[in-house]
Structure 1
Amino acid sequence: MQRSPIKKTEMTHSASDTDIPNIFSKESEKQSKRISAKRLRMADDDGLGHWSIFKDEIKELIDAMVDKQNTRLDKLEKNILVIKNQNDAITNSNNDIKQSMDYVSEQIKDLQNKISNLEGEKNTMTKQMDMIDVRIDNLERINKKSSIEIRNVPRRPKEGKKELFNMIQKLYSVIDSQDMTDAYQLRDVYRLPSKPDATTSTIVAEFSNTLAKDNFIQKVKKYSKNKNEQLNSKHLGINDPKTFIYISEHLTVKATRLFYLARDVAKTQGFDFCWTSNGRVFLRKKENAPHILVKDEETLVSIKKNSGQPE
Structure 2
Amino acid sequence: MKAEVTSIRNDFSELKKTVRRLESRQTEVEGDITSLKKSMQYHSEEYEDVAKKLEIQTKEIKVLYQLKKELEEVKVQNRKLRTDVNASEQRDRLLNIEIVGIPERDSENLNEIILKIGKSTEIDIRNDDILQVNRVTAKLKVQGRPRNIVAKLRTRQLKDNVISQTRKRRLSTKNLDIQGSIIPVYINEHLTIYNKNLLKKAKEIANMKEYQYVWTKNCRIHVRKSVTTPAILISDEEDLRKII
Q: CA RMSD in A?
A: 4.6
- In the alignment, the residues of structure 2 paired with residue 164 and residue 129 of structure 1 have an alpha-carbon distance, to the nearest angstrom, of 45
- In the alignment, the residues of structure 2 paired with residue 131 and residue 174 of structure 1 have an alpha-carbon distance, to the nearest angstrom, of 38
- In the alignment, the residues of structure 1 paired with residue 30 and residue 148 of structure 2 have an alpha-carbon distance, to the nearest angstrom, of 93
Q: Does 1:136 align with 2:85?
A: yes
Contact 2:96 2:189 in 1 (8 A): yes
Structure 1 equivalent of residue 5 of structure 2: none
* SS in structure 2 of the partner of residue 144 of structure 1: coil
1:292 to 224, 228, 231: 231
2:167 to 221, 239, 244: 221
Contact 2:133 2:149 in 1 (8 A): no
Q: Does 1:247 align with 2:192?
A: no
Contact 1:190 1:205 in 2 (8 A): yes
Structure 2 equivalent of residue 170 of structure 1: 113
Structure 2 letter corresponding to 1:292 = A
- In the alignment, the residues of structure 1 paired with residue 241 and residue 67 of structure 2 have an alpha-carbon distance, to the nearest angstrom, of 30
| Offset, 1:295 | 3.2
TM-score (norm 2): 0.65
* SS in structure 2 of the partner of residue 185 of structure 1: strand
* SS in structure 2 of the partner of residue 140 of structure 1: helix
- In the alignment, the residues of structure 2 paired with residue 102 and residue 202 of structure 1 have an alpha-carbon distance, to the nearest angstrom, of 69
Contact 1:192 1:201 in 2 (8 A): no
- In the alignment, the residues of structure 2 paired with residue 120 and residue 92 of structure 1 have an alpha-carbon distance, to the nearest angstrom, of 42
**Cα distance, 1:175–1:210 mapped onto 2, change above 3 Å:** closer
Structure 2 equivalent of residue 99 of structure 1: 48
* SS in structure 2 of the partner of residue 221 of structure 1: helix
Q: Deviations over 1:255-306 (max 9, x none)?
A: 32442244346545352x43211111234533xx6761423456554453xx
**Cα distance, 1:232–1:88 mapped onto 2, change above 3 Å:** farther
| Offset, 1:133 | 2.5
- Structure 1 spans left out of the alignment, 5+ residues: 1-58, 305-311
- In the alignment, the residues of structure 1 paired with residue 63 and residue 35 of structure 2 have an alpha-carbon distance, to the nearest angstrom, of 41
* SS in structure 2 of the partner of residue 200 of structure 1: coil
- In the alignment, the residues of structure 1 paired with residue 34 and residue 145 of structure 2 have an alpha-carbon distance, to the nearest angstrom, of 85
Structure 2 equivalent of residue 123 of structure 1: 72
- In the alignment, the residues of structure 2 paired with residue 80 and residue 199 of structure 1 have an alpha-carbon distance, to the nearest angstrom, of 99
Structure 1 letter corresponding to 2:113 = K
| Offset, 1:186 | 2.6
- In the alignment, the residues of structure 2 paired with residue 95 and residue 138 of structure 1 have an alpha-carbon distance, to the nearest angstrom, of 64
| Offset, 1:213 | 3.1
Greater per-residue helix proportion: 1
**Cα distance, 1:88–1:152 mapped onto 2, change above 3 Å:** farther
- In the alignment, the residues of structure 1 paired with residue 178 and residue 31 of structure 2 have an alpha-carbon distance, to the nearest angstrom, of 102
**Cα distance, 1:106–1:190 mapped onto 2, change above 3 Å:** same
**Cα distance, 1:218–1:303 mapped onto 2, change above 3 Å:** same
TM-score (norm 1): 0.53
Give the number of the structure whose alpha-carbon radius of gyration is greater: 1
Report how many aligned residue pairs link the two structures: 229
| Offset, 1:210 | 4.0
- In the alignment, the residues of structure 2 paired with residue 163 and residue 222 of structure 1 have an alpha-carbon distance, to the nearest angstrom, of 30
Contact 2:211 2:223 in 1 (8 A): no
- In the alignment, the residues of structure 2 paired with residue 299 and residue 264 of structure 1 have an alpha-carbon distance, to the nearest angstrom, of 14
> What is the 5 A alignment of 1:1-311?
87-151=36-100, 163=106, 166=109, 169-170=112-113, 172-174=115-117, 176-177=119-120, 179-181=124-126, 184-195=130-141, 198-200=143-145, 203-211=148-156, 212-224=158-170, 231=172, 237=178, 239=180, 244-264=184-204, 267=207, 268-269=209-210, 271=212, 273-283=213-223, 285-286=226-227, 292-296=231-235, 301-304=241-244
Contact 1:249 1:276 in 2 (8 A): yes
- In the alignment, the residues of structure 1 paired with residue 218 and residue 197 of structure 2 have an alpha-carbon distance, to the nearest angstrom, of 15
**Cα distance, 1:138–1:78 mapped onto 2, change above 3 Å:** same
Moved more, 124-133 or 200-209: 200-209
- In the alignment, the residues of structure 2 paired with residue 152 and residue 141 of structure 1 have an alpha-carbon distance, to the nearest angstrom, of 23
